[in-house]
Amino acid sequence: MGNAWITDLRHFLTEDGSMEDMPKRARKLAEYFGRIVKGVTTRQRDDLATGVKCRKRFRHRPCPGEVIAFIDEQQSISWSCPVCKDNGMMSGWKGTIWDWSVNA
Ligand SMILES: [Zn+2]
């Protein structure tokens, strides 16, 4: 079983919408979630691929999975890795620096 990450992306951002000053670890996580949002909002095809490599590592090797994601009925982005099952939900992504959708 992977961890379920419930994230509100606004927590990573300042009031003017740029990234908060935060420790490297938190920043890397924010950037990872941001890449998933960008992957979802820029993809052309109607499938689940995001082009984002899973961030998990096992025995010092990166997980070979690629994150899949979709926008659910609550307008949250639900994402998961098909290989290690790491997964989570993101809210608060609309209109952020990572949102590339035309309605942003
Ligand atoms: Zn994985």
**CB 97 within 8 Å of CB 31:** no
Report the separation in Å between the CA atom of 103 and the middle of ligand 1, taken as the mean of its atom positions: 30
Chain centre distance of CA 23: 18
Q: Mean per-residue pLDDT for 79-104?
A: 91
Report the separation in Å between the CA atom of 2 and the middle of ligand 1, taken as the mean of its atom positions: 9
- Alpha-carbon distance of 90 to 99, in angstroms, equals 12
Q: What pLDDT score was predicted for residue 68?
A: 97
Average pLDDT across the chain, whole number: 92
Query: With bands split at pLDDT 50, 70 and 90, how would you rate the model's confidence at 5?
Result: confident
Domain boundaries, the chain: 4-91
- How much is the pTM? 0.90
Report the separation in Å between the CA atom of 9 and the middle of ligand 1, taken as the mean of its atom positions: 21
Report the separation in Å between the CA atom of 61 and the middle of ligand 1, taken as the mean of its atom positions: 11
pLDDT greater at residue 63 or residue 47: 63
